[in-house]
Structure 1
Amino acid sequence: MDPLLIGLLVSLATIFVLFSGVSVAVGLLLVAAGFLLIFDGTRSLMMIPEVYFADLNSFTMLSIPMFIIMGAAIASTKAGADLFEAFERWMTRVPGGLVVSNLGACALFSAMSGSSPATCAAIGKMGIPEMRKRGYSEEIAAGSIAAGGTLGILIPPSVTMIVYGIATETSIGRLFLAGVLPGIMLVAFFMIWTIYSAWRSGTLYNLSQRRYSLAERLEIMPRVLPFLLIIGGVLYIMYGGVATPSETAAVGALLAIIMAMIIYKMWQPRVLWTVFRDSTKEAVMIMFIIAAAGVFAYMMSSLFITQTIAQWISELDVNRWVLMGIINVFLLFAGFFLPPVAVILMTAPILMPILLAAEFDPYWFAVILTINMEIGLITPPIGLNLYVINSIAPDISLKKILVGSLPYVLCMVTAIIVLCFFPGIATWLPTAVMGPAN
């Protein structure tokens, strides 16, 4: 049978299985095993255990649970509330400052925790009631937090970037650096829209009556700065060549736990157990998907589906940017239904040869892909952040949360367009710090 036809059957079967409610990892394994059995016989099934465990046999994989523990330790404390309070005290007299403060707190907390849901919950619990109290619309209040939470998968350290690095065999350090300037740009876009939206609704100058003294502004900083220093230290150690990503992640996780115990008195064994338990669950889930995606990729390659698709696309007589537009539409659609990790692991084996043949930079594309995945976090039907916001502010309807989030989707689309015109925004910093890529 023609490999392209088999590929179409694989796509339909995968969509059906995933929409049946089966977990992503189990669904990928079922589809891979089924098609290998049908088209390659029982002998190929003997390779599944070897392929499965081979994809997990990597020292770099250790960075995933370590960064997850680091984020969980921070997310289990009141660091989010303190970040919000710090921004609010410093920016209370700035026009639209409260919403801008929320976005700044989201950016920093998401970078520390690496979790979009945790960011939405931590910042939203305080930020949304305060914004509504001061006259900001429910749409602005909910939408800004939902969008701000997505920044965690772009601003380093990012588990999504680690998964991309493992799947494409690219440098994790370079990927982290590639996300820095685009992340800052996206935060700026969010803030610009927020200020404009507040001005349009007449709440731009609805300032807090509370005036904070310099002493009050400085008072909260000792509770926030240690965690920021940990993030800065992790990035410095990694980019400075002092340690590998896995070693750096382990040290960062240990320091984050120590800081949480010292600053927020997180001594109770029950709390520590919760951090390790939840981190283990999340890490195992991600690794299960990685291993299953490895088997799925093996099936695609064994049946010559990947190679045939790559060859077919490379032979299309279309402009490389038209090709990139098609890929972006595909990624947007996939992000509507699947989590970022699953999308990366399923598409990377197919897309990477095509991208390299079209002379696109893989680190630049990592940023483009990640922003596409951010859009999926605030758009239905999955839209995880929308449901998190609805759970912490149940009196705000999902419709209002979605309406408030849509302008930020346009900000992300704008960021993708800007990066297409100016790819150096993503590629300049990795080259400047680590030299040209091999």
Structure 2
Amino acid sequence: MDPVTSGILVVIVLLVLMAIGTPIAFALGAVSLGALVLDQGMGELTFFGETFFGHVSSFGFVAIPMFILMGAAVASSPTGRDLYRSLDIWMGRLPGGLAISNIAACSIFAALSGSSPATSAAIGKLGIPEMRKRGYPDGVAAGCIAAGGTLGILIPPSVTMIVYGISTETSIGRLFIAGALPGLMLAGLFMVWTLLACKLAGGYNSPNPVAQAAAQIKENVEGNVKALIRVLPFLLVVLGILFALYGGVATPSEAAGVGAFLCLALAIVVYRMWQTKPIANIMRDALRESVMIMLIIATAEIFAFALSSLFITQTVAGAIADMEVNRWVLMGVINIFLLVAGFFLPPVAVIVMAAPILLPIIVAADFDPYWFAVILTINLEIGLITPPVGLNLFIIKGIAPDIALRDILVGSLPYALCMILGIVLLCFFPEIALWLPDLIMGTGS
């Protein structure tokens, strides 16, 4: 069977398995194993275990469960509540200020947790009921949280950037810092659209500054300042991790281990989480997400091996490389591919399977690999708020089950357009992603 036909059949079977609810890791593993056995016989099974465990045994992957544990410690504590309260008092005066403060809270919490689902869940549980209570349309309330949550895979420290760095053998520290300014740019675009959407809907103002008595305002300010003080140690831990990575003081795995320990200790001390149950819940959540991601990485590696063995990878890469088109047309084709892949697969799976294939093509076309990492990540962010997978959409649906999924989707789509605008801006001004890494780490790093 020729590689093109084989590739089409593999993709169809994979999509069918996912459509009937098969977990991503099991779908990837089953398709890969079936393709290898059918093409090369049962003898290929002898390499299955070695391939499965060989890739995830890399020491660099230790950083993933450690960053996930760090995020779980933050997400399971009242940090999101305190962050939300402290930002509300400062931004509540603006029309749509509560929605804007939610996006700001998502941006900061993304840096604390490094997880898109955790960000959406932690801020959404507080922000969506409060916005609806104050009269915000359901679409605005749900959309700003769903979109703000996607920043968790771009703003450092980001688990997906770690996976990209290991898969492509690029500097994780440089990847982290390359995502900082684009992450802030996207947050800014989200805020601009939110402000515009609120003005179009008539404007929504927080009643706190005008309607309350002076004593009540003082009490709220004091409470929110105290909440901000409780959040500051967690922010300092994140800044310390980034300094250790950028300064070459520690490897990503070492920095992640220290960060996980400190965040867990802070959650216990600051929020008095002395009981066994909350700590056990943190460990359970971290273990569950870590196993899920590592299984996806392992089976995605087998999937990539199967595609390579069937010469599907080489055929696709050759077809793309042989396209006699302008390099920006080539980049457009790659963006469409990533966008479609993000509709069906989680970010980690797309990165493990696609990044090693696309990187040589990107470099040959004279694109920067760190700039491309940001472009790739934003494409995958769009997939988090668009069907059929749209993980963040379903998280928001779980938080507010009485909001129609259609309203959540309609409210989120303008933010997907903001991300597309962000990609366009990065294409015209690549320095948005590259200026800060070059400034801190030098152009030769």
Matched, 1:352 2:371: no
Match of 1:336 in 2: 343
Deviations 1:271-328 (CA, angstroms, capped at 9, x unpaired): 1111112211211111111111111222222232222221221111111111111111
Structure 2 residues without counterparts, runs of 5 or longer: none
- Return the alpha-carbon distance in structure 1 between the equivalents of residues 379 and 172 of structure 2: 19
- Return the alpha-carbon distance in structure 2 between the equivalents of residues 30 and 396 of structure 1: 36
Task: Answer yes or no: is the 8 Å Cα contact 1:111–1:157 preserved in 2.
Answer: yes
- RMSD of aligned Cα (Å): 1.8
1:289-304 pair list within 5 angstroms: 289-304=296-311
The structural deviation recorded for 1:261 is 0.5
- Return the alpha-carbon distance in structure 1 between the equivalents of residues 139 and 292 of structure 2: 33
Deviations 1:355-404 (CA, angstroms, capped at 9, x unpaired): 22222222111111111111111112222212222222222211111111
Matched, 1:306 2:313: yes
**SS at structure 2 position matched to 1:242:** coil
Matched, 1:420 2:404: no
- Return the alpha-carbon distance in structure 1 between the equivalents of residues 56 and 401 of structure 2: 40
- Return the alpha-carbon distance in structure 1 between the equivalents of residues 16 and 128 of structure 2: 38
Match of 1:268 in 2: 275
Match of 1:325 in 2: 332
Match of 1:410 in 2: 417
Between 1:124-133 and 1:84-93, the stretch displaced more is: 124-133
Task: Answer yes or no: is the 8 Å Cα contact 1:309–1:350 preserved in 2.
Answer: no
The structural deviation recorded for 1:216 is 4.8
The equivalent position to 1:374 in structure 2, one of 381, 397, 419, is: 381
The structural deviation recorded for 1:198 is 1.4
Match of 1:25 in 2: 25
Compared CA separation, residues 216 and 273, structure 1 to 2 (3 A): closer
- Return the alpha-carbon distance in structure 1 between the equivalents of residues 58 and 379 of structure 2: 27
Deviations 1:169-193 (CA, angstroms, capped at 9, x unpaired): 2111111111100000000001111
The equivalent position to 1:392 in structure 2, one of 389, 392, 399, is: 399
Match of 1:91 in 2: 91
- Return the alpha-carbon distance in structure 2 between the equivalents of residues 149 and 133 of structure 1: 21
Between 1:368-377 and 1:70-79, the stretch displaced more is: 368-377
Task: Answer yes or no: is the 8 Å Cα contact 1:10–1:31 preserved in 2.
Answer: yes
The structural deviation recorded for 1:231 is 0.9
Compared CA separation, residues 288 and 437, structure 1 to 2 (3 A): farther
Match of 1:74 in 2: 74
Between 1:352-361 and 1:406-415, the stretch displaced more is: 352-361
**SS at structure 2 position matched to 1:318:** coil
- Return the alpha-carbon distance in structure 2 between the equivalents of residues 286 and 132 of structure 1: 34
Deviations 1:5-36 (CA, angstroms, capped at 9, x unpaired): 33233222322333333222222222222222
1:54-69 pair list within 5 angstroms: 54-69=54-69
**SS at structure 2 position matched to 1:121:** helix
- Return the alpha-carbon distance in structure 2 between the equivalents of residues 183 and 303 of structure 1: 38
**SS at structure 1 position matched to 2:175:** helix
Letter of the 1:90 partner, please give it. W
Letter of the 2:268 partner, please give it. M
- Return the alpha-carbon distance in structure 2 between the equivalents of residues 318 and 3 of structure 1: 23
The structural deviation recorded for 1:217 is 4.8
The structural deviation recorded for 1:73 is 0.5
Match of 1:203 in 2: 203
The structural deviation recorded for 1:74 is 0.5
Compared CA separation, residues 17 and 217, structure 1 to 2 (3 A): closer
**SS at structure 2 position matched to 1:55:** helix
Deviations 1:315-362 (CA, angstroms, capped at 9, x unpaired): 111111111111111221121122111121222233222222222222
- Return the alpha-carbon distance in structure 2 between the equivalents of residues 343 and 300 of structure 1: 14
Compared CA separation, residues 390 and 6, structure 1 to 2 (3 A): closer
Identity of aligned residues (%): 58
- Return the alpha-carbon distance in structure 2 between the equivalents of residues 24 and 217 of structure 1: 42
The structural deviation recorded for 1:207 is 4.3
Deviations 1:92-131 (CA, angstroms, capped at 9, x unpaired): 2234321111111111112211222222222122212222
**SS at structure 2 position matched to 1:163:** helix
Match of 2:11 in 1: 11
Q: Please, what TM-score do these two structures have when normalized by structure 2?
A: 0.94
- Return the alpha-carbon distance in structure 2 between the equivalents of residues 420 and 102 of structure 1: 28
Between 1:183-192 and 1:200-209, the stretch displaced more is: 200-209
Match of 1:36 in 2: 36
Compared CA separation, residues 37 and 224, structure 1 to 2 (3 A): same
Letter of the 2:116 partner, please give it. S
The structural deviation recorded for 1:205 is 4.5
- Return the alpha-carbon distance in structure 2 between the equivalents of residues 99 and 28 of structure 1: 38
Task: Answer yes or no: is the 8 Å Cα contact 1:160–1:341 preserved in 2.
Answer: yes
Match of 1:315 in 2: 322
- Return the alpha-carbon distance in structure 2 between the equivalents of residues 132 and 96 of structure 1: 12
The equivalent position to 1:246 in structure 2, one of 253, 257, 273, is: 253
Deviations 1:238-292 (CA, angstroms, capped at 9, x unpaired): 1111100000000000000110011111111111111112211211111111111
Letter of the 2:319 partner, please give it. W
- Return the alpha-carbon distance in structure 1 between the equivalents of residues 135 and 370 of structure 2: 42
**SS at structure 2 position matched to 1:47:** helix
The structural deviation recorded for 1:437 is 4.6
Matched, 1:362 2:369: yes
- Return the alpha-carbon distance in structure 1 between the equivalents of residues 388 and 327 of structure 2: 31
Match of 1:108 in 2: 108
The structural deviation recorded for 1:57 is 1.7
Between 1:301-310 and 1:192-201, the stretch displaced more is: 301-310
- Return the alpha-carbon distance in structure 2 between the equivalents of residues 121 and 245 of structure 1: 26
Structure 1 residues without counterparts, runs of 5 or longer: none
- Equivalenced residue count is 438
